[in-house]
Amino acid sequence: MLAKITSGAVIGVDGLLIEVEVDVALGLPTFTTVGLPEGAVKESKERVKAAIKNNGYEFPNRRITVNLAPADVKKGGAGYDLPIALGLLAATGLLPPECLEHHCVVGELSLDGQVRPTPGILPMVIAAKQAGRHTVLLPRANLAEAAVVDGIRLIGVEALGEAVDILTGSRPAPEGPPTDNPHMLSDRYAVDFCEVKGQEHAKRALEIAAAGHHNILLQGPPGSGKTMLARRLPTILPALTFPEALETTKIYSVMGLLPPQSGLISERPFRAPHHTVSDAGLIGGGQIPRPGEVSLAHNGVLFLDELPEFKKNVLEVLRQPLEDHTVTIARASHSLRFPSRFMLVAAMNPCPCGYYPGDPHHACSCNPVQLQRYRHRLSGPLLDRIDLHLEVPAVRYSDLVTPAAGERSEVIRQRVAAAHQIQRQRYQRRQTACYNSQMTAADLKRHCAIDHPAEQLMQQAVDHLGLSGRAYHRILKIARTIADLAGSETLKSEHLAEAIQYRRLAPRQ
Ligand SMILES: Nc1ncnc2c1ncn2[C@@H]1O[C@H](COP(=O)(O)OP(=O)(O)OP(=O)(O)O)[C@@H](O)[C@H]1O
Ligand SMILES: [Mg+2]
């Protein structure tokens, strides 16, 4: 007998409905799965067999064939366990086949028949809704995440037996969870800018970075607060909009990184991969491609601490997401795109020992060769994509012990939001959100006209500091953001003078 049941797969970060066909025929007992099963799907039969037996149902000792269609998509993960088990029970007459109609079923089974949380539920529920299914049967632990999608009935189950009872009507389906209210997005974070004492210059630079979406490099001795500052950058960015939160939550869902019972991700993500991360770990990849750190940082902040310690090839692959805000992963048959719009914050010590060029209390112990090697590890093209370069000096004792609290993130966030609003209006004819950091040469010409005193200042800077054309453009972009923060339409010398301070710290301009 043949039974059909709908389940779901994840392609990139999008859901795709999969037809699971289970055929039970006379013949020698075998269990074959076809339709490009990979890894965990191949092992599904062992879990399904044990779960069925341990829940007191009879496992058919016949020729079992499971087909996962469409056949040209590689299928991974353990989410097909529950649909395969229910399909088997339907094919052997233990479950009326019509009770599976209009349902979409996903869930991993443990050997005792428990339904375990499964990655990628959110995109699958979105796909089920778009395809007009009216019910999704899923692991109870994933209910909160699925409830982000409204207008579809959700049944959360904890065990195979419970799913069978609900489908046959011998047990009522539990009440679905309330769907997440899209207006409940919070902008509360565990950390706040007011905890950073002193360092006014660094705080100002981070505000400018947030306002114009400029990537930023922090350079300073150990303990100067670079990590502390970077961690607080998401707190001064405007709260996520509902579509942004949905995009980010989908990525965490696919990676199985949503905390249990959590719905929509409402905080901007902060990702800080270790410098030993591989290029696939950073930008994504694998047999069945999965997103990497740059996508987990989507709509948030990617923090690369100890930048020169990262492998060169790893930093090289960062260029595409920094430029295009997406990662494209090409496979023989198709290519996938993962969203990766993030702000990059990089941190480094000025030299291997950390105390160059002569901290008043610590002597630098590096020799010139070590120094040069350290700096050469940073690729020019990557540094060119970082608009703001900032020196973070050691924090002063008097600042550290002052009882006065600094400005709260909430207050800074309002100024940043106002600057974003100005940019939205300026670039409104663009398709995608555009910030000052993304200005093209034509935009620079149009929006960064400078008056005569400012022109003279720039000329001096170019002549005396030996700035390159590229550095010149970077300064204009930052000056535009500084002017936007000040609510000024024109670029004035004071805006340029401040922007010039954030020029490149590395030896080459
Ligand atoms: N400006 C500051 N205000 C309050 N506390 C500070 C400040 N700067 C540093 N600290 C304290 O010092 C600790 C170390 O700072 P942090 O880890 O950010 O330094 P770092 O510059 O990242 O150092 P490293 O180069 O070793 O990574 C912080 O956790 C914090 O407790
Ligand atoms: Mg640090």
**Whose alpha carbon is nearest atom 12 of ligand 1?**
223
- Which pLDDT tens digit goes with each residue over 475-486? 999 999 999 999
What pLDDT is recorded for position 49?
A: 94
- Is the C-beta atom of 198 inside 6 A of ligand 1? yes
What distance in Å separates the CA atoms of residue 150 and residue 169, rounded to the nearest whole number? 24
What pLDDT is recorded for position 25?
A: 94
- Is the C-beta atom of 197 inside 6 A of ligand 1? yes
- Is the C-beta atom of 224 inside 6 A of ligand 1? yes
Q: Looking at ligand 1, which atom is closest to the CA of residue 196?
A: 3
The count of residues in the chain is: 509
Place of tokens 């150990």: 222
> Which of the pair, 183 or 446, is modelled with greater confidence?
446
Q: How far is the CA of 232 from the centre of ligand 1 (A)?
A: 12
Q: For the whole model, what pTM was predicted?
A: 0.89
Q: What tokens were used for 217? A: 């490099």
What pLDDT is recorded for position 507?
A: 46
What band does 504 get if pLDDT is binned at 50, 70 and 90? low
Task: Answer whether 128's CB lies under 8 Å from 105's CB.
Answer: no
Q: How far is the CA of 72 from the centre of ligand 2 (A)?
A: 46
Q: How far is the CA of 310 from the centre of ligand 2 (A)?
A: 14
- Is the C-beta atom of 253 inside 6 A of ligand 1? no
Fold topology of 2-168 = Ribosomal Protein S5; domain 2 (3.30.230)
What pLDDT is recorded for position 354?
A: 77
- Which pLDDT tens digit goes with each residue over 256-291? 998 877 788 889 999 999 999 998 999 998 878 889
Whether the bond between 453 and the residue before it is cis, its omega within 30 degrees of 0, is no
Specify the domain boundaries for CATH 3.30.230.10 within the chain: 2-168
**CB within 8 A of 203, min separation 6: which ones?**
193, 196, 229, 406, 407, 412
> Can you state the angle between helices 409-426 and 200-212, rounded to 10 degrees?
30
What distance in Å separates the CA atoms of residue 343 and residue 301, rounded to the nearest whole number? 5
Q: How far is the CA of 394 from the centre of ligand 1 (A)?
A: 9
- Which pLDDT tens digit goes with each residue over 109-144? 999 999 999 999 999 999 999 999 989 999 999 998
Q: How far is the CA of 230 from the centre of ligand 2 (A)?
A: 9
- Is the C-beta atom of 227 inside 6 A of ligand 1? yes
Task: Answer whether 295's CB lies under 8 Å from 340's CB.
Answer: yes
- Is the C-beta atom of 402 inside 6 A of ligand 1? no
Q: Looking at ligand 1, which atom is closest to the CA of residue 220?
A: 21
